[in-house]
Structure 1
Amino acid sequence: MNHLYLDCQYGISGDMTLSALINLGADLDYVKDHLRELPIDPFTMETNPVNKHGIHATELILQFPEEKHQHPIHPDTHYHDHSHEHHDHRHASSIFRMIDESMLPQRVKTRSTKIFKIIAEAEAKIHGMNPEDVHFHEVGAMDSIVDIIGVCLALESLAIETISAAPVPTGYGKIQIAHGLYPVPAPATAEILAGIPLADFQAEGELTTPTGAAFLKALVDDFGHLPALPIKKISYGAGKKDFDHPNILRAVIFQTKEDLDTTRERINVLECQLDDMEGETLGYVMEKALGMGALDIYYTPVTMKKSRPGTLITLLVKPEHSLMFEDLLLRETSTFGVRRVECERSILSRRMDQVETVYGLVKVKIGFKGKHVYKVTPEFEDAKEMALKNNIPLRKVYSEVNLSAMQLIKEESLL
């Protein structure tokens, strides 16, 4: 498994991302062959080495030979391209249908559809319309269709499983888009970047485009510094513009935790204790924290001042999410303060699978380190449904699942 880190400290766009992934080793022919099976305009795609302030990078050269008018600036900047208006796939709904009916790999379909939906929803909110009715030039011109699906194909070519990224800058100033002269970040970009950490890097011009922002929103699991993992390969994708800084996106492939003998990660532990909250509110806070992505939350009975019975709330979160969960505890509970402790935990790598039993298929979670499997746990809801359906004890389902799971593991030579 490969982990990709997008070091977007100078911004990110569609062509920068695709060129960085190709420079990283993605098969260009694989990307082009799949794209040419789609009902889009004929195109040529090449890469060109460039130097950006002393950094050797790869630039994407994407052209549509049948275009009557060439783009002076990449359409990811939201310039309206009228040369494709004769096509019937100019609305978001048509793009979704094109992807769904294609022969693209399933994960490419899932990722690219998610990206387009994020852009369409942002444009729809800005213009007060239904996301599926968003017009093509607002979702992106033909170049952006190629960029978005091309990036997802490149990720598939590189077998990228997980992605993290650096906080991203937007730039400042004004930009000419289809609807007139707008401030940077463009309205769609700003809408998409809601909830994403921004970098305090100031440069005049559009550093992050709507497509680049949508990549971050749709594909990235974590934002922060370079992960504490061994680097496999580094590459640089170049943008079309020239700034006082290198207009590049650095992409890094890391050896994943699943490949290491020891699996460790940094987490923060948030705690507070209270003696004046009803049980229903505690249940509400737990449900909300888990829904927001907390790693874990649990309550411990404690004895407080004057021998009053109380509850210790313990919340495990990723370091970059600490402030968000501190605010949750301060806002939703009666506490006047939250303690935070940084620590490290050792965890098993895990993957989901399903096994065949005499009662049918059951999902299981497999915990392993390297090639050694430590445990196999059935998914409770599947096991419960099977027990009720067959009128058998739950423990019997667990026993059957464990036997089948161990056989599956042996067949895969994980033990």
Structure 2
Amino acid sequence: MRSDMRRAHFDCPYGVSGNMILGALIDLGLPVDELTAALRTVLSDGWELQTRHMQRCGIGGTFVDVVTNESHHHRGLSEIRSMISAGALPDTVKEYAVRAFTLLGEAEAAVHEMDLESVHFHEVGAIDAIIDIVGSMWGLNYFGILGSEVSTSPISVGGGTVTAAHGVIPVPAPATLRLLEGVLTKSGPVQRELATPTGCAILRAICAENAAGMGQGMGCFRVGKTGYGAGSLEIPGETNYLRLIIEDDTSAMPYDVENIAKLECEIDDMTPEMLGCVAEKAMALGALDVHFVSVQMKKFRPGIRLCLLCRTSDVRAMTELVLRETTTFGVRVQDVERHILRRAMESVETPWGTVRVKTGYWGEEAVKRMPEYEDCKRLAAENNVAIMQVYCAAQQAAQK
């Protein structure tokens, strides 16, 4: 994860919609004038963005409303893609906005059993949906969230029925259900539509690299600022807010901070050869580290603790590996925060050849330089010298 990126968590006790996400971003401090100017390059006229600070249950938040004079203009996905591509937007914003519209279109096409380009986008083509999706992506990019790790709480979908273009349908709407496949959701807390297709498409698009993070909660997280986006419904005694929590800015720290997962289990009935095979497979799948610790188990049996570190997006694959390839019937999973030195790789010359050296930085200060073992090993073998000679020569060259 780049140092200018920040993790984010969407708390959705009252569902999610496009204007709730946009409202939360503005509540965090997103400059409305700059946002509007960017959106005008996609849709020049026919709309106004109105924002209002409000209080519900004594908690302040921001409500966003897109006021339009266009009522029944339906646009196809190709037209929307062209509009976004022509806009003066960062490439990342364009990519994620198109991704969200594509997901929304695919959901509608699947529900109505139509070809993607044949779908009449009743909601997708509306101006407010374009403003909500493109505006949300612009705001998320402004705060360094696009491309970073995103998580959500279980998403409340509401209940009851809603009147749509095709008649009365149950809540959640079919397109919403399609977009929430595999995501932890819950009904309520009121019998109204709380999760909209537009809001779900935005979350699905930005969680594409970590879909498993949707609905699973915040996990290990260094809380920074929080924005409250108000929903359109006024629910007596309820806030009806979406909370967007962004990670505390760690760019001023002298080291990088990563959030990873740790998997552990104890085993007393596998051979070292088998355990070594599991470790090799885990590393091949992308594990950050695998190691074993000797432990005392029940009935005085000596055993080992398997410890595996991985990216949060790889937890499912690593869990499957451990449960399939070892004798354990369960594995513990923890979210952990890892502090690591910023690093750079350089090449230095020794009397026997070139060696790559990894340098670790505490802020701007180089605090350690480590020659690459494989380079030193190869040069030592080729030149019939001790590996320590090559290693020390590389370290001395790196210090100059």
Question: Does the pair score TM above 0.5?
Answer: yes
Separation in structure 2 between the aligned mates of residue 52 and residue 58 of structure 1, nearest angstrom: 10
In structure 1, the partner of 2:107 is 122
In structure 1, the partner of 2:330 is 338
3-state SS of 1:60 partner: strand
Q: Is the 8 A contact 2:163 2:169 kept in 1?
A: yes
Q: Is the 8 A contact 2:283 2:290 kept in 1?
A: no
3-state SS of 1:58 partner: strand
Between the aligned residues of both structures, percent identity stands at 31
Where do residues 377-388 of structure 1 align in structure 2 (5 Å cutoff)? none
Separation in structure 1 between the aligned mates of residue 280 and residue 109 of structure 2, nearest angstrom: 32
3-state SS of 1:113 partner: helix
One-letter amino acid of the structure 2 residue matched with residue 84 of structure 1: H
Q: Structure 1 pair 285/199, CA: closer, same or farther in 2 (3 Å)?
A: farther
Gaps of 5+ in 1: 70-82, 303-309, 356-364, 378-405, 407-415
Q: Is the 8 A contact 2:84 2:98 kept in 1?
A: yes
- Out of 224, 242, 246, the residue aligned to residue 239 of structure 2 is 246
Where do residues 7-406 of structure 1 align in structure 2 (5 Å cutoff)? 7-39=11-43, 41-65=45-69, 67=70, 83-85=72-74, 90-137=75-122, 139=124, 141-160=126-145, 162=148, 163-198=150-185, 202-220=189-207, 221=210, 222=213, 223-225=216-218, 227-231=220-224, 233-244=225-236, 245-261=238-254, 263=257, 265=259, 267-271=261-265, 274=270, 286=282, 290=286, 295-296=287-288, 298=290, 314-317=307-310, 325-327=318-320, 329-330=322-323, 332-333=324-325, 335-340=327-332, 342=334, 344=336, 346-348=338-340, 370-371=363-364
Q: Is the 8 A contact 1:20 1:238 kept in 2?
A: yes
Gaps of 5+ in 2: 295-302, 347-357, 371-398
Structure 2 length as normaliser, TM-score?
0.69
One-letter amino acid of the structure 2 residue matched with residue 10 of structure 1: Y
3-state SS of 1:347 partner: strand
Measure how far apart 1:319 and its partner are: 7.3
Separation in structure 2 between the aligned mates of residue 213 and residue 205 of structure 1, nearest angstrom: 16
CA deviation string 1:352-394 (max 9, x = no partner)? x999xxxxxxxxx9976555567899xxxxxxxxxxxxxxxxx
Measure how far apart 1:227 and its partner are: 4.9
Measure how far apart 1:130 and its partner are: 3.4
Measure how far apart 1:242 and its partner are: 1.8
Q: What value does the CA root-mean-square deviation take over the aligned residues?
A: 4.6
Q: Structure 1 pair 214/270, CA: closer, same or farther in 2 (3 Å)?
A: farther
Separation in structure 1 between the aligned mates of residue 175 and residue 345 of structure 2, nearest angstrom: 40
Q: Structure 1 pair 372/238, CA: closer, same or farther in 2 (3 Å)?
A: farther
Q: Is the 8 A contact 1:229 1:257 kept in 2?
A: no
One-letter amino acid of the structure 2 residue matched with residue 268 of structure 1: K
Q: Structure 1 pair 9/116, CA: closer, same or farther in 2 (3 Å)?
A: same
Q: Structure 1 pair 345/255, CA: closer, same or farther in 2 (3 Å)?
A: closer
Q: Structure 1 pair 119/301, CA: closer, same or farther in 2 (3 Å)?
A: same
Separation in structure 1 between the aligned mates of residue 305 and residue 88 of structure 2, nearest angstrom: 53
Q: Structure 1 pair 15/350, CA: closer, same or farther in 2 (3 Å)?
A: farther
Q: Does 9-18 or 251-260 show the bigger shift? A: 251-260
Separation in structure 1 between the aligned mates of residue 168 and residue 42 of structure 2, nearest angstrom: 34
Separation in structure 2 between the aligned mates of residue 204 and residue 174 of structure 1, nearest angstrom: 8
Measure how far apart 1:321 and its partner are: 7.6
Measure how far apart 1:196 and its partner are: 2.7
Measure how far apart 1:138 and its partner are: 5.2
In structure 1, the partner of 2:355 is none
Measure how far apart 1:183 and its partner are: 1.9
Q: Structure 1 pair 158/326, CA: closer, same or farther in 2 (3 Å)?
A: closer
Q: Is the 8 A contact 2:230 2:240 kept in 1?
A: yes
Q: Is the 8 A contact 1:175 1:206 kept in 2?
A: yes
Q: Structure 1 pair 315/26, CA: closer, same or farther in 2 (3 Å)?
A: same
Measure how far apart 1:47 and its partner are: 0.7
Select the structure of larger CA radius of gyration. Answer: 2
Separation in structure 1 between the aligned mates of residue 273 and residue 312 of structure 2, nearest angstrom: 27
**Count of residues in correspondence between the two structures:** 348
